[in-house]
Amino acid sequence: MLLSKGTVKLRSLGLSPFVLALAVGVAGAASAGCFFVDDHGGHGTPPDEGPPPDETIKQVAIQSDQQLSANPGEGVGIFVEYRAGGQWHIWTTCDTFTSKAVCSFDIFAGTRPELLRSYATDQAEGYDEVKDLGNGEIELLADTDSDTDGLIVMTEPGAPLDLEVYLDGNSAAPFVYWVSDDVIRTGAPDNPVEFVPASP
């Protein structure tokens, strides 16, 4: 699904608002698997594939008390906001006005169980659903069209939040937006990714 042109606004509690024009194109990428063929009757050993993949979740800093806004229906987005005191707000938009489609989001947000205080839906309706998966992980299932759907997660102040996002069953990391160093960041570096509140 291509992201249409839209507008994302950044509002800070202590800064003048400014507008960032959002024009992001997403190109599909094909991936091919590797096959090992043994020329010796199938009794050989596979080639050395190098070290095992790194299981560490990549971290990104998120600036406190920054509020994003986008026009519902004009572009695909998963927006992550953090308020000092431990309130996380994750919300979605879709490109329904141009695609005539509904975006089916599956979003997992989690922290260590002892750091999770509570959670709630934001603007959820219809078949949208929030599930407590245990171990500090919350899942938001949302069908977004010309509206917004969201999740509020309350954690201990300063606690990091892991985020894993899917759109129509595929990784939605390119559609994640957040603020760091007074700049709107686009595209999570990995899926999942860990958001860490930056020190003021």
- 26: pLDDT strictly greater than 90: no
pTM: 0.75
Q: Which two tokens stand for residue 113?
A: 């169980």
Comparison of pLDDT for 91 and 122, the residue scoring more: 91
C-alpha separations of 98 from 5, 27, 74, 76, 198 in Å: 10, 17, 7, 11, 36
Which residues have a Cβ under 8 Å from the Cβ of 142 and sit 6 or more positions away?
92, 104, 105, 107, 124, 128, 129, 149, 150
Q: What confidence tens digit (pLDDT) does each residue in 146-194 have?
A: 999 999 999 999 999 999 999 999 999 999 999 999 999 999 999 999 9
What is the CATH number that goes with domain 6-24+58-197?
2.60.40
With bands split at pLDDT 50, 70 and 90, how would you rate the model's confidence at 20? very low
List the domain boundaries for the chain.
6-24+58-197
- 108: pLDDT strictly greater than 60: yes
